[in-house]
């Protein structure tokens, strides 16, 4: 029994640690109005360097720098989303006692995606990386399969697809964050490997494509937050923030993907900074929610497991970074 309690405490600690780590990963780029300046590409060999695709010749310096910076910002987005998934699924699946051994898979996929994204953040080259690309695709596929498992878990319960089962069954939106982490990692490699061409994602211009993906990702995350906050009866007025501010960001970035004047894109950039801050603020509010449980933080090994989930809100920060990268590419395209 003591061993089980110790394991629970260790897994629950991931939530509190994640809040600080998420801030370190994301704060560097959240407030940047333009991409970070790039030092010259690092030279040298090594196994990981050999996995990179060959560099392209005749590339415009400004366009390549913008593409590389946007790719690194997308890696930041993917890292935040992957860390959020890793911490949250570790806690939630431990609470489910890993009844199905497949519940270990998203932990492995999100951990690999996090490591891959951190490598991408520090990669200043202008070439895609085969291993990072493969890891991102695997993460997205794992999230898609996990969504099927969660849907099955909800529908097999007594009453099927009902409000009660949506409230207390496997969260349908949780695997969605892993899909987004994989998509952002994949997009980063496509943008980085654009060479002398205009960056493209899924065969479309990178700016509008990322704007559409980010908008859809925000709306999906909002839907999950709305469901769980509705379960909590919106007892705190601040619970309305994640269902009001991010949807505006989703609309702004969707419109920015079309022909819009510069002042519209400036407004979108400001609103995405607010959305990014909301992710960290939400983690703080969830910590307060944990403190309000019986025993407060003195009983943290149980109360963190009971929620509200501390690692969940920073998903908005990760998506805000993706939105900022899309804006950079849109402005470069203009």
According to the model, what pLDDT value does residue 85 have? 93
**What is the three-class DSSP state of 198?**
coil
The verdict on residue 40 lying in a domain is no
In angstroms, what CA-CA distances link 56 with 22, 53, 60?
34, 9, 10
The verdict on residue 48 lying in a domain is no
pLDDT at residue 57 greater than cutoff 70: no
The verdict on residue 51 lying in a domain is no
Contact 189, 128 (CB under 8 A): yes
Confidence of residue 45 (pLDDT cuts 50, 70, 90): very low
According to the model, what pLDDT value does residue 304 have? 86
Choose between 263 and 222: higher pLDDT.
222
Q: Could you tell me what percent of the chain has a pLDDT over 70?
A: 79
Average pLDDT, integer, range 39-62? 41
pLDDT digits (tens, 9 = 90+) for 22-43: 554 554 554 444 444 444 444 4
The verdict on residue 53 lying in a domain is no
Residue 172 burial (CB count, 10 A): 18
The mean predicted confidence, pLDDT, of the chain is: 81
User: What's the CA gap between 214 and 242, in Å, rounded?
Assistant: 16
User: What's the CA gap between 2 and 22, in Å, rounded?
Assistant: 30
Structural domain that includes position 149: 9-31+59-333
Greatest CA span in the chain, whole angstroms? 65
Average pLDDT, integer, range 172-186? 92
- Backbone φ and ψ for 205, nearest 5 degrees, come out as -55, 135
The verdict on residue 43 lying in a domain is no
In angstroms, what CA-CA distances link 290 with 7, 80, 260, 303, 316?
19, 22, 43, 6, 20
The verdict on residue 193 lying in a domain is yes
Please classify residue 23 by burial: count the beta carbons closer than 10 Å to its beta carbon, then call 0-12 exposed, 13-18 middle and 19+ buried. Answer: middle
In angstroms, what CA-CA distances link 115 with 111, 142, 168, 299, 318?
6, 16, 31, 31, 16
User: What's the CA gap between 24 and 28, in Å, rounded?
Assistant: 7
User: What's the CA gap between 287 and 299, in Å, rounded?
Assistant: 13
Of 187, 12, 173, nearest to 90 (Cα)?
12
User: What's the CA gap between 72 and 309, in Å, rounded?
Assistant: 28
Structure tokens at 89: 């699924």
Q: Which range has highest mean pLDDT (4-18, 35-49, 241-255)?
A: 241-255
Across the strands, what pairs with 52? 129
Number of domains observed in the structure of the chain: 1
Of 22, 14, 182, 165, nearest to 95 (Cα)?
14
Structure tokens at 73: 């910002």
User: What's the CA gap between 332 and 334, in Å, rounded?
Assistant: 5
Structure tokens at 51: 């996995």
pTM over 0.85? The answer is no
The verdict on residue 140 lying in a domain is yes
pLDDT digits (tens, 9 = 90+) for 295-334: 888 888 788 888 789 999 999 999 999 999 999 888 876 5
Residue 261 burial (CB count, 10 A): 9
**What is the three-class DSSP state of 90?**
helix
The verdict on residue 80 lying in a domain is yes
pLDDT at residue 108 greater than cutoff 90: yes
């Amino acid at each position: 029994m003591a061993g089980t309690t110790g394991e629970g405490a260790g897994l629950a600690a991931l939530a509190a640690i994640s809040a600080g780590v998420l801030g370190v990963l994301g704060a560097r780029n959240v407030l940047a109005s333009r991409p970070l300046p790039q030092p010259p590409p690092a030279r040298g060999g090594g196994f990981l360097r050999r996995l990179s695709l060959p560099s392209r010749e005749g590339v415009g310096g400004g366009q390549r720098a913008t593409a590389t910076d946007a790719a690194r910002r997308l890696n930041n987005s993917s890292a935040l989303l992957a860390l959020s998934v890793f911490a949250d699924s570790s806690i939630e699946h431990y609470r489910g006692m890993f009844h199905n051994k497949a519940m270990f898979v998203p932990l492995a996929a999100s951990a690999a995606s996090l490591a891959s994204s951190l490598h991408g953040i520090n990669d200043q080259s202008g070439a895609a990386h085969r291993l990072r690309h493969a890891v991102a695709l695997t993460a997205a596929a794992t999230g898609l399969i996990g969504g099927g498992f969660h849907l099955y878990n909800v529908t097999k319960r007594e009453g099927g697809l009902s409000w009660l089962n949506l409230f207390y069954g496997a969260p349908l939106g949780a695997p969605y964050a892993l899909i987004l982490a994989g998509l952002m990692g994949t997009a980063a490699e496509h943008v980085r490997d654009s060479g002398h061409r205009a960056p493209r994602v899924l065969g479309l211009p990178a700016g509008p494509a990322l704007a559409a993906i980010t908008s859809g990702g925000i709306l999906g995350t909002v839907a999950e937050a709305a469901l769980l906050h509705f379960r909590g009866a919106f007892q705190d007025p601040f619970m309305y923030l994640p269902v009001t501010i991010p949807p505006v960001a989703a609309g702004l970035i969707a419109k920015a993907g079309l022909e819009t004047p510069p002042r519209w894109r400036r407004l979108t950039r400001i609103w995405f900074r607010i959305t990014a801050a909301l992710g960290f603020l939400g983690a703080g509010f969830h910590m307060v929610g944990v403190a309000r449980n019986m025993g407060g933080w003195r009983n943290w090994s149980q109360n963190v497991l009971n929620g509200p989930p501390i690692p969940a809100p920073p998903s908005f920060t990760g998506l805000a970074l993706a939105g900022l990268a899309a804006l950079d590419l849109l402005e470069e395209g203009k």
